[in-house]
Structure 1
């Protein structure tokens, strides 16, 4: 919805305060979502409370609002926001599944891989549960996608001699 609202008022926002207005809109919507989670899914809200707040400063949301919503009509911006939000969610869920599965051998608290300490074969990699591992996994995912879809890799801006 942030793209929809930003696009609706894009012609009234002075360029000198454009980023601040976008941040206020995105922050307001994140607070609304956080309040809805607290009201209807308290357990989930408790687990996500720190991360929901981080969305406010998320460069991806802000960058997309700047790149697309400021130059396009409201409905096109709305659908762009929905598509980007879903895509971003898929990436986060993929990272979460990989980290939990190989970091703890579990998904949603259910043991998927038998751990060696319980007589199984897998020794969990605790490093995957630490925050920096997400950056390494994102790097690996980007590398895999760029290797798989070479036609989508942009040409280098310069060439080293």
Structure 2
């Protein structure tokens, strides 16, 4: 196992290296997209969702298992980001990769794009809706409550 004193540093180096490789591939094959995403690709390096999960798993497992867990979580996180991106672009602009998918009303079609979906806060609402849909569909995804809330008012005081 990786010593705990350098574990976080090693994980950051590995994740940062992979993100830089992806960024370089984007610059080589999709320069326009790379230019639009440049600021955000760098933010992935310090993403706490992936880092927290990687740290929690790596603390109790050998490096090879931790590597594959990191790959799986990175791919899963990518699927979530791609799903959000597709939903936001499709219903926010009616396009995917600059190609019109839904005929817009201004061009004689039927769809009026929802510009709110293109704004950053919409991603949070969509993530909430995706979590709700997943947990409605797969009941085993719902966690048991860690505690119960105490009543706020004693019944005698309410009258």
**Pairwise same-fold verdict (TM > 0.5):** yes
Q: Deviations over 1:60-112 (max 9, x none)?
A: 12102211123211221121112111111111111111101100011111111
Report how far residue 22 of structure 1 moved: 3.6
Q: Aligned pairs, how many?
A: 149
Provide structure 1 residue ranges, at least 5 long, that are not aligned to the other structure: 1-11
Q: Within 2, Cα distance between the matches of 1:36 and 1:14?
A: 32
Provide structure 2 residue ranges, at least 5 long, that are not aligned to the other structure: 150-159
Taking only aligned residues, the RMSD between alpha carbons, in angstroms, comes to 2.0
Q: Within 1, Cα distance between the matches of 2:97 and 2:27?
A: 20
Is the 8 Å Cα contact of residues 2 and 63 (structure 2) preserved in structure 1?
Answer: no
Counterparts in 2 of 1:40 and 1:70: CA distance versus 1, 3 Å:
farther
Q: Within 2, Cα distance between the matches of 1:13 and 1:109?
A: 45
Q: Within 2, Cα distance between the matches of 1:22 and 1:101?
A: 35
Counterparts in 2 of 1:87 and 1:13: CA distance versus 1, 3 Å:
closer
**Higher normalized helix content (fraction of residues):** 1
Q: Within 1, Cα distance between the matches of 2:46 and 2:82?
A: 20
Report how far residue 41 of structure 1 moved: 3.9
Q: Within 1, Cα distance between the matches of 2:61 and 2:20?
A: 25
Report how far residue 40 of structure 1 moved: 4.6
Q: Greater CA deviation, 65-74 or 135-144? A: 65-74
Q: Within 1, Cα distance between the matches of 2:38 and 2:93?
A: 22
